[in-house]
Amino acid sequence: MNYLLLSQSFYPTMSLLFSNESLIYSVIQYPNEQYPNNLIFVTKTMFDVLKIDKKDPGGIFVVYGPGSFTGTRISVVDAKILAYSLSVPLYPINSLELTAAHVSGKVSTILSASRNEFFVADFEDGKRISDVEIVDLEKIVNEDKTFVSFEKLENFKSYKQIFPDVEVIRKFCLNLVLKKQLIEDPLSLEPLYLRAEEKLFKKIR
């Protein structure tokens, strides 16, 4: 069975198609600022070039946050529509947990939340040992922790930038399938924002 992963909660954005045995394609990119949310176009292009049936995916994975407010919302909507229209399972992925899967030992995964704020969670050998929080730069910049991120960050006392490893991601996703960590109703999935915008959006809606 083949699976499709979509992520634009953070940079780089990702579109991956893989099976239980191997990777079929991967596009990991830093989009042009003029077209920051072109993941569906990229995915369609890859399907067309490789002559993949658009009904091929037997499951959809989506990074549903925390991360960019706009990017997260768009990718979640895209994934929900795809999973619903294809009648296939939808698997949500926490961005910080995906980051932690790339490293061993005790680390703090971190992603920019803008406004000098960051999404942070502590992990040990890939298992989360703290809540996901949004914290000010001043609070954590000098902490005696090893921070890891897919993003390029500055000023931290101990920091390591990592690049998405498609094989790590593939195995991470297949483990979610094995544990049956899917959303029963794809249309019910809500983005994980952890920001004031979430409350504002709910109030407006």
The owner of tokens 């990229």 is 42
| pLDDT confidence of residue 35 | 64
Residues pairing with 108 in the sheet: 122, 147
Task: Give how many domains the chain has, as a whole number.
Answer: 2
Same domain, 37 and 104: no
- The predicted pLDDT at position 8 comes to 92
Q: What is the pLDDT of residue 36?
A: 58
Q: Is 155 helix (H, G, I), strand (E, B) or coil?
A: coil
Rounded Cα distance between 161 and 146, Å, is 11
* R_g over Cα of the chain: 17
- Quickly tell me which residue has 């897919």 as its tokens: 150
What ranges make up the beta strands (E) of the chain? 2-7, 13-19, 23-29, 60-63, 90-93, 106-114, 117-124, 127-128, 133-136, 147-149, 159-161
Q: What is the pLDDT along the chain (205 residues), one digit of tens a residue?
A: 999 999 999 989 999 999 999 999 999 988 776 665 688 888 999 999 999 999 999 999 999 999 988 889 999 999 999 999 999 999 999 999 999 999 999 999 999 987 789 999 999 999 999 999 999 988 888 888 899 999 988 878 888 999 999 999 999 999 999 999 999 999 999 999 876 444 434 433 4
CB 192 within 8 A of CB 65: yes
Which residues form the domain of 107?
96-161
Can you name the residues that pair with 118 across neighbouring β-strands?
112, 135
Please check whether residues 9 and 42 belong to one and the same domain: yes
Please indicate, yes or no, whether residues 17 and 116 belong to a single structural domain of this protein: no
- Residue 25, beta-bridge partner list: 17
Both 19 and 32 in one domain: the answer is yes
Strands of 132-190, DSSP E: 133-136, 147-149, 159-161
Q: Which residue has the tokens 């000023």?
A: 155
Same domain (yes/no): 52, 101: no
What pTM was estimated for this model as a whole? 0.90
